[in-house]
């Protein structure tokens, strides 16, 4: 890949990234800094902890970066009523995207009705906001992954997502292929966990991933800019905001 036109535009790649700010030890100042980075890079969103939604909404006011957050996170085993209450509060606080963990145990039980109803209740509570369903693929076999994808789509989710990033494993090429093949074209596939390099992002995008959860946003986008500049015979520096 040695011509700049063969590499995607940095702006297009940025709009595929949900800049992740979910680590439990992040301070308020670190969350603000992460929001500033996302704004400077014009990512699709930030994905923050529920308690940080209002902070992120204020920090990103006037930008094109939306605020996403999580529900039922990270295990997915809270009751449906709890997920619904959480989602309603998050929407009221200004969240535009909700990444919700499905009930892994019920999925492995084969309790399709429970899993679908659980997701559908969150979709309804989100009132038109984007809902991404986290399968936690490291804990599932192929049949459970397929079932989870089908139930998420049937429940009205907008994306299926590989993992929380907190249960081991992460996005794999095989999982992206399986998920993309299982859901309809209008349902997105989000890769999360281990997407730390440009090469990895481009590999998974070629297989059908349409959104990426990443903490290494600056590294990925700086690498892309440097490669495009090198191919064009120019030089580029890292963004000073990072």
The string of pLDDT tens digits covering residues 143-162 is 999 999 999 999 999 999 99
Q: Is 6 exposed, middle or buried (0-12, 13-18, 19+ CB in 10 A)?
A: exposed
Structural domains for the chain: 14-232 (3.20.20.70)
Q: Is 109 among the catalytic positions?
A: no
| Alpha-carbon span 172 to 26, nearest angstrom | 27
Choosing from 83, 118, 161, 222, the catalytic residue is 161
Q: What is the pLDDT of residue 1?
A: 43
Q: Is the pTM of this model over 0.85?
A: yes
Choosing from 118, 145, 190, 222, the catalytic residue is 190
Q: Is 83 among the catalytic positions?
A: no
User: Residue 82: how many CB atoms within 10 A of its CB?
Assistant: 12
Q: Is 161 among the catalytic positions?
A: yes
Residue 123 backbone phi and psi in degrees, to 5 = -60, -45
Residue 193 backbone phi and psi in degrees, to 5 = 100, 105
Stretches where the chain sits below pLDDT 70 are 1-5, 235-242
The string of pLDDT tens digits covering residues 221-238 is 999 999 999 999 876 665
Query: Per-residue DSSP letters for 2-57?
Result: -SGGGSPPHHHHHTTEEEEE--TT--HHHHHHHHHHHHHHT-SEEEE-GGGHHHHH
Choosing from 52, 99, 118, 222, the catalytic residue is 99
């Amino acid at each position: 890949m040695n011509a700049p036109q063969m590499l995607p535009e940095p702006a297009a790649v940025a709009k595929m990234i949900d800049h992740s700010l979910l680590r439990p030890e992040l301070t308020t100042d670190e969350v603000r800094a992460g929001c500033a980075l996302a704004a400077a890079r014009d990512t699709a969103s930030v994905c923050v902890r529920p308690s940080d939604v209002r902070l992120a909404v204020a920090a990103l006011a006037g930008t094109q970066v939306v605020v996403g957050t999580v529900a039922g996170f990270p295990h997915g085993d809270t009751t449906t009523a709890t997920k619904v209450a959480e989602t309603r509060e998050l929407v009221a606080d200004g969240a535009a995207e909700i990444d919700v963990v499905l009930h892994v145990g019920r999925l492995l039980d084969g309790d399709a009705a429970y899993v679908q109803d659980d997701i559908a209740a969150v979709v309804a509570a989100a009132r038109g906001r984007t809902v991404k369903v986290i399968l936690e693929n490291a804990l599932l076999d192929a049949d459970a992954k397929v079932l989870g994808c089908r139930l998420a789509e049937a429940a009205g989710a907008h994306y299926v997502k590989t993992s929380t990033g907190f249960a081991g494993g992460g996005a794999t090429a095989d999982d992206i292929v399986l998920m993309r093949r299982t859901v309809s074209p209008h349902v997105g596939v989000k890769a999360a966990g281990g997407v730390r390099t440009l090469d990895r992002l481009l590999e998974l995008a070629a297989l059908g991933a349409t959104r990426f959860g990443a903490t290494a946003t600056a590294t990925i986008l700086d690498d892309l800019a440097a490669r495009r500049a090198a191919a064009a015979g120019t030089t580029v520096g890292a963004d000073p905001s990072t």
